[in-house]
Each structure stands twice: as structure tokens, then as C-alpha cells.
């Protein structure tokens, strides 16, 4: 009985109480588990390390983009998924962690000198590390307790950094390929650019060209 309660408590702590949110976490980790399974059973093609590394990185970017799409979706009349945005964003961070781990451990074999040389000398790795570094404090403060501690305003301001992180992640992808005119990174970069432009548009509407407040007038008799 106690064991059951404890495990229920643990799963609530890790996955939250909301069943939809739990489903998002569990489904969200499926690509990672599946790809790793394919890798272990030699089904990832000729260069399994590279395929695993890229697949994880791509899913990180996909989840970050999905999290960034939540607000525009609602503004444009779609459903509000704001309740699940934290889960989506955290999945992006988890995938970024896995992507980085594969690079550090499997690809580079924890050769610290080579890794450091990569970070300082290879712009696409510098940009990728920048994206990851920004995500760390955002993930660490992605809980209600931290929102309370920081205050909603400061928390929101901090979390605007996700724009920088996602843009950096997309640039990291574009810089990696040999020809800039390659469909996949170009499409992802365009998506990120569109989502960020929409943010700017919302901001401009609110701040730069505020609509005059409707003046309340007594309703005329003819109405």
C-alpha cells in the first residue's frame, strides 16, 4: 500500500497530476526511446551515432518550436494549449540534454580537450552550446514554486530568453549543413523566424500602435 502510494507520488512529481500532461511527457519520449532502441539493434543505418545525435537534436528543435507556437495558435483563433506549454518546452530541453550527451559521450568520447576546442573554434557548436546554456535556467525555473519565488513578471521576462535559445538552435542546424540551400534546416529556420516575427507583431500592436480605447457613451434611445 505504502509502496503504491509512494510510486503514485513519484509519478505525480515527475509527470504531474494532469493525465493529458502525463500523456504528453510519455508520448514525447517515445522518439528518443525508439531511436535508441534502433541504434542498439543496429537499425540506424551506416552511421548510427550521427543518426542518433541528429534525430535527438531535431526533436529538441521540434518541441521548442511547438512551445513557441502555443501563443500564436491561440491568438489566431486556435485552441489554447497554454496548460501544456511547460510540458512541451521541457521535452525540448530533455531532448537537448540527450543530444548534447550523445555528442559529449558517444561522438567525442568525453575527450575534454577536443570538446573545448570544438566549442571555441566551431561557430555552429558555439551557437548550439549557447542555445543549451540558455535553456538550463529556463528548465530549472519551469515549476510553480519558482514562478512564485521570482514573481510572475520577472519569471516571464526571464522566459522570453526562449526566443533566443530557439533561434540559436535553428541557426545551429542551418550552420551544420554544407549547402545553405538544403530543405530541412531552411524550413525549420523559416518556421522559427515566422513565430518570432509574430511575437514582434503582437508586441507592436500592443505597444507601438495602441488602439484608442473605446469611449463609453450612453446608449442612445434609438440604439
Partner 1 sequence: MLIRRPSDIAPSEITPRDVYLRRREFLAGAAALGLSSGLSALLSGNAQAAPLTAEPSPLSTTDEEKTPLASITSYNNFYEFGTDKGDPARHAQRLTTSPWKVKIDGLVNKGADYDFNDLIKSSRLEERIYRMRCVEGWSMVIPWVGFPLAEVLKRADPQASAKYVAFETVVRPSEMPGQSGFFQPLDWPYREGLRLDEAMHPLAILAVGLYGETLPNQNGAPIRLVVPWKYGFKSIKSVVRISLVEKEPPITWKSQNAREYGFYSNVNPQVDHPRWSQATERRIGEGGLFGKRRPTLMFNGYGEQVAGLYAGLDLKANY
The site map against partner 1 for 48-67 (x = CB under 8 A) is xxx-x---------------
Q: Does 128 bind partner 1 (CB under 8 A)?
A: no
Q: Does 137 bind partner 1 (CB under 8 A)?
A: no
Residues between 75 and 104 that touch partner 1 (CB under 8 A): none
Rounded distance, CA 72 to CA 193, Å?
13
Rounded distance, CA 99 to CA 61, Å?
11
Q: Does 73 bind partner 1 (CB under 8 A)?
A: no
What's the distance, Cα to Cα, between the start and end of the chain in Å? 67
Q: Give the one residue of 18, 26, 74, 123 binding partner 1; rule: CB under 8 A.
A: 123
Distances (CA, A) of 209 to 95, 204, 212, 214: 39, 6, 9, 15
* Least gap, CB of 109 to partner 1 (angstroms): 6
Q: Does 130 bind partner 1 (CB under 8 A)?
A: no
Rounded distance, CA 92 to CA 86, Å?
10
> Any alpha helices (H) in the chain, and if so which ranges?
2-15, 19-40, 48-75, 85-101, 112-121, 123-140, 144-150, 152-159, 161-176, 183-203
Rounded distance, CA 20 to CA 38, Å?
27
Name the residue nearer to partner 1 (CB basis): 123 or 137.
123
Within 8 A by CB and 6+ apart from 165, the residues are 64, 130, 131, 132, 134, 135, 138
Name the residue nearer to partner 1 (CB basis): 18 or 184.
184
Q: Does 174 bind partner 1 (CB under 8 A)?
A: no
Q: Give the one residue of 15, 29, 104, 106 binding partner 1; rule: CB under 8 A.
A: 106
* Least gap, CB of 71 to partner 1 (angstroms): 30
Name the residue nearer to partner 1 (CB basis): 112 or 221.
112
SS3 at position 80: coil
Q: Does 6 bind partner 1 (CB under 8 A)?
A: no
* Least gap, CB of 110 to partner 1 (angstroms): 11
Rounded distance, CA 129 to CA 123, Å?
10
Using CB under 8 A as the criterion, which residues of the chain lie in contact with partner 1 when the complex forms? Answer: 39-40, 42, 44-50, 52, 106-109, 114, 117-118, 121-124, 175-179, 181-184, 186
Amino acid at each position: 500500500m505504502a509502496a503504491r502510494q509512494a510510486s503514485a507520488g513519484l509519478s505525480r512529481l515527475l509527470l504531474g497530476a494532469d493525465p493529458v500532461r502525463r500523456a504528453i511527457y510519455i508520448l514525447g519520449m517515445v522518439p528518443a526511446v525508439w531511436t535508441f532502441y534502433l541504434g542498439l539493434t543496429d537499425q540506424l543505418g551506416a552511421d548510427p551515432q550521427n543518426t542518433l545525435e541528429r534525430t535527438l537534436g531535431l526533436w529538441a528543435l521540434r518541441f521548442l518550436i511547438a512551445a513557441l507556437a502555443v501563443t500564436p495558435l491561440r491568438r489566431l483563433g486556435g485552441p489554447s494549449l497554454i496548460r501544456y506549454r511547460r510540458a512541451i518546452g521541457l521535452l525540448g530541453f530533455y531532448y537537448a540534454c540527450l543530444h548534447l550527451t550523445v555528442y559529449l559521450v558517444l561522438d567525442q568520447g568525453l575527450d575534454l580537450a577536443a570538446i573545448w576546442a570544438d566549442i571555441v573554434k566551431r561557430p555552429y557548436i558555439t551557437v548550439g552550446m549557447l542555445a543549451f546554456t540558455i535553456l538550463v535556467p529556463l528548465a530549472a525555473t519551469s515549476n510553480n514554486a519558482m514562478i512564485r519565488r521570482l514573481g510572475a513578471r520577472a519569471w516571464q521576462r526571464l522566459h522570453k530568453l526562449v526566443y533566443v535559445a530557439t533561434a540559436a538552435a535553428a541557426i545551429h542546424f542551418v550552420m551544420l549543413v554544407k549547402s545553405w540551400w538544403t530543405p530541412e534546416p531552411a524550413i525549420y529556420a523559416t518556421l522559427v523566424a515566422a513565430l518570432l516575427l509574430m511575437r514582434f507583431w503582437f508586441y507592436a500592436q500592443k505597444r507601438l500602435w495602441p488602439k484608442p480605447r473605446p469611449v463609453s457613451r450612453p446608449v442612445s434611445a434609438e440604439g
